[in-house]
Chain A
Amino acid sequence: MARNWRHYPMACALVGSLTACAASVRQAPVDFHPRAASMAAPRVAVLETVTIKLPTAYIRTVDKGSRWALAGQVPQGDVYRPVGTVFTIEGRQVHEAYLVVSQQAIVGFYLPGDRTYSALPTPVSLSLGDMQ
């Protein structure tokens, strides 16, 4: 037991160094065209839970039943922001994120706090339905 404790500081340092060295979220400037404020934003619900492994190795989940509102468009697809909750992606930094959806798949994220787009290496299928 005492011997195990001797490894504790080393394990902490290792975990700490790995966390401190997390990759940055890759992002690029993008032209975001918000939906006109006068128009009611269509809202959708996620029909199946989706798990996304980010290129930074962090995991994010888009829960079944979560609600999203169409916020606008970027060249890569439609931009949906969460309704009544928050969504972030993480690497070396944390970024608020909206889903970018094209052809029934999440292709990346619009980062409103940075006004940039972060692409996923592989699109992740997403089932959206009308809100009940």
Chain B
Amino acid sequence: MKQVMKLLAVAMLSILAAGCATGTKFSQMSSSIPPVRADEGRVYFMRSSSLFGAAIQPDIRLNGEVVGESKPGGFFYVDRPQGTYQASTSTETEKTLSFTLDAGETKYVRSSPSFGLVVGRIVLDLETPDKALQELPSLSYIGTKEIARR
């Protein structure tokens, strides 16, 4: 019985680990990230590489447009004109984050799992630049859109 439990635990961990971001680390690509245009701001989306809630990986929307996914250990960024924005994920309950973005400004949005009534959900919140820049180097790039656009 103990061996079965061990096997199950290993299998669970493998499944969760497979769901973690595996792209290029920020620390390896930060120098190649283009500067934000003068008339736009930049929003980084990031998520710690915790296994807690790792199976929950919803799309992230910005003003209704899907811009990426919330994946453990992953980050991506989008550049947008200055204005007001609402970020959201599509999990059990939709908890939105509203914020403003100025030209030349960089904002950091952290997604993190939390308990829901039936299933888990992902909550978005603004992160301070200091904390974000401390954690970003260890995160993997999971974006495609912005790089492809350039």
Contacts and interface: CB of A to CB of B under 8 A. Distances in A.
Interface of A: 12-13, 15-17, 19-20, 84-86, 88, 90, 92-96, 111-115
Interface string B100-119: 10000001100000111110
B39 interface: no
A94 B130 contact: no
Contact of A86 (B84, B93, B96, B126): B126
A92 B95 CA distance: 6
B117 A112 contact: no
B84 A94 contact: no
Tell which of A17, A92, A93 has the most Cβ of chain B within 10 Å.
A93
A132 B118 CA distance: 50
Given A13-B117, A94-B95, A96-B99, A114 B126 contact: no
Nearest to A17: B117
4 closest cross-chain pairs (CB), A and B: A113-B98, A112-B100, A96-B99, A86-B126
Contacts of B128: 84-86
A86 B108 CA distance: 9
17 contacts: A13-B117, A84-B128, A85-B129, A86-B126, A86-B127, A86-B128, A90-B125, A92-B95, A93-B95, A94-B96, A94-B98, A96-B98, A96-B126, A111-B98, A113-B85, A114-B84, A114-B98
Interface of B: 84-86, 92-93, 95-100, 107-108, 114-118, 123-130
A17 B125 CA distance: 20
A113 B86 contact: yes
Contacts of B127: 86
Nearest to A81: B100
A95 B86 CA distance: 9
A21 to B, nearest CB: 9
B107 to A, nearest CB: 8
B116 A113 contact: no
A44 to B, nearest CB: 19
B100 A113 contact: yes
A20 B84 contact: no
B99 A112 contact: yes
A90 B92 CA distance: 18
Contacts of A12: 115
A16 B129 contact: no
